[in-house]
Structure 1
Amino acid sequence: MATPSSSSPPVPPIRSVNLGGWLVTEGWILPSLFDDIPNNDFLDGTKLQFKSVVHNTYLCAEHGGGDIVVADRTAASGWETFKLWRVDENTFNLKAIDDSAVHFVGVDGNGVVVATAATPGPSETFVIVRSDRDNSRIRIRASNGKFLQAKTTVSVTADHGEGTSWGDDDPSVFAINRGEKLQGEYQLCNGYGMKKATEVLREHWSTYILENDFKFISSNGLNAVRIPVGWWIASDPNPPAPFVGGSLEALDNAFRWAEKYNLGVIVDLHAAPGSQNPWEHSGSRDGSQTWGTTDETIIQTVQVIDFLASRSDKDINK
């Protein structure tokens, strides 16, 4: 429980309401926040499967990564599923799904498509080109300017030219299946880019919850509000990319309104460094959960909690 130092915490029993979807973005609460993102079905963490239209088989990272990419699977499951890391609206890294290691799809020195890199670089960066007639059909341009093609079911290379009919006879054309997607703060900020994301979120923060809401809450017998926040709030106004600044000011407003209407404030660290779960509210880029796997994420979490707990009236009202 955190309250401005000049106000008293509420007396139990605590009767609180959760202000979810305000300072931590959750698409299921307000999906319209994502409507204007270009290619908004290709956000960070979206799971894609690529089916060769020639062979009618799926691309597969052999062994879940650490080996070549083939196109010989008649059905798609884990090894045939790739997570998007968005660079811009058309440019992406493709991450193989393997719980034991991280492998990104790339092109080796011989033009062979592999899934061996632990971190993405130029060779692991691709442009996804969609058909104007059918946006479920795509081609994948590698950093060498050539397109990926399934020459055979066991040979996937980056050496196809620009020309295409988009027909079933083109080995560089793939039909995509879209699986699970994430709509969290990471996806919103990286999808819009810093300038537009700042505009969208500042408008949201200043209109979604208002002082009148606190007045209404207090007048209806509740004595506290729960406010989820993300770890990046401790770095406001200049949080690490792609997150944008401004949520701390909104939280300070909440404390002022809570004091005015005699409400306690429960600050909930809803998104911890490294993501404490695979869900969108944790601030995860692709559903990976790395919180607690290193001392660094634990230390940073404690620092964020200390930052929030140590804020005083002077900080809030300056």
Structure 2
Amino acid sequence: MTPDVFDGTPATDQWTFDSTDGAQAKLKTHWESYFNESDVQKIASWGINALRIPVGYWAYDNAGTPDITGADAHLEKAIGWARSHGLKVWVDCHGSPGSQNGFDNSGRAGDVAWQSSDNLDHSIRVLETMAEKYGATEYADVVVGLELVNEPISWGANELDTTKQ
């Protein structure tokens, strides 16, 4: 979601970036520096009481993709900071298998294949993993919801009725 991470690469989205040399080290640096506890503290000081934190499905299951895992560990840090500063968290599954909208913010720009049976089943399995994790008692005081899919299109390859179901 921050294109400067792609500087010096031909990447246009997470999928192509994670296939480039040095991507793991660049992501590690990004994860460790882009958002930190002082940001959460500042947000809380403004009177904001919740954070919506995007994470791609590949943080929980990247099988068959070039996607690099590790974002979930940094999400855990952010959840801890939110808890420490009295904020609630909405965990946003921002990228879904096959891309739910074809935009770079889904993790993979181009074709939309989220509602194909394999991708939809994969998406549901990831959401079940996320629900089991963040629905646990240890998160009850801080995680207030899960966004199931970010900005799914409702035309072309995606049927609105399938999205609703």
**How many aligned positions are there?**
136
Structure 2 counterpart of 1:101 = none
Deviations 1:54-104 (A, max 9, x none): xxxxxxxxxxxxxxxxxxxxxxxxxxxxxxxxxxxxxxxxxxxxxxxxxxx
Q: Give 1:230-241 correspondences, 5 Å limit.
A: 230-235=56-61, 240-241=64-65
Residue in 2 that maps onto 1:187: 16
2:114 aligned to which of 291, 306, 315: 291
* Deviation of the 1:241 alpha carbon: 3.5
For 1:271, the equivalent position in structure 2 comes to: 95
Which of the residues 16, 24, 44 maps onto 1:198?
A: 24
Q: Which runs of 4+ in 1 moved over 4 A?
A: none
| TM-score, length basis structure 2 | 0.75
1:215 equivalent in alignment to 2:56? no
Paired-residue identity, %: 32
Residues in 1 aligned to 2:65 and 2:42: alpha-carbon distance in whole angstroms: 36
- Rounded to whole Å, the distance in 1 between the matches of 2:44 and 2:74 is 19
Name whichever structure is richer in strand by fraction. Answer: 1
Deviation at 1:31? 2.9
Checking the alignment, whether the CA contact within 8 Å between 2:99 and 2:114 is kept in structure 1 is yes
Distance in 1, Cα, partners of 2:24 & 2:69: 7
Task: Name the counterpart of 1:255.
Answer: 79
**Offset of residue 293 of structure 1:** 2.4
Q: Give the CA RMSD over aligned residues.
A: 1.8
| Cross-structure match for 1:245 | 69
Instruction: Give the Cα separation in 2 of the matches to 1:34 and 1:206.
Output: 16
Residue 281 (1) aligns with residue 112 (2): no
Q: Distance in 2 between matches of 1:309 and 1:261?
A: 23
Amino acid at match of 1:301: S
Q: Which runs of 5+ in 1 are unaligned?
A: 1-20, 22-29, 44-182
Q: Offset at 1:240?
A: 4.3
Q: Could you say what secondary structure the match of 1:288 adopts?
A: coil
Gap change, CA 1:252 and 1:287, over 3 Å in 2: same
- Report the equivalent of 1:32: 4
Secondary structure in structure 2 of the residue aligned to 1:267 = strand
Q: Deviations over 1:206-227 (max 9, x none)?
A: 1000001111111110110001
Structure 2 counterparts to residues 68-83 of structure 1, below 5 A: none
Compute the displacement of 1:246 (Å): 1.3
Amino acid at match of 1:223: N
| Cα 1:267/1:213, change in 2 over 3 Å | same
Matched to 1:206, the amino acid is E
- Paired with 1:301 and 1:231, the residues of 2 have a C-alpha distance of 7
Q: Distance in 2 between matches of 1:216 and 1:309?
A: 29
1:189, distance to aligned residue in structure 2 (A): 1.0
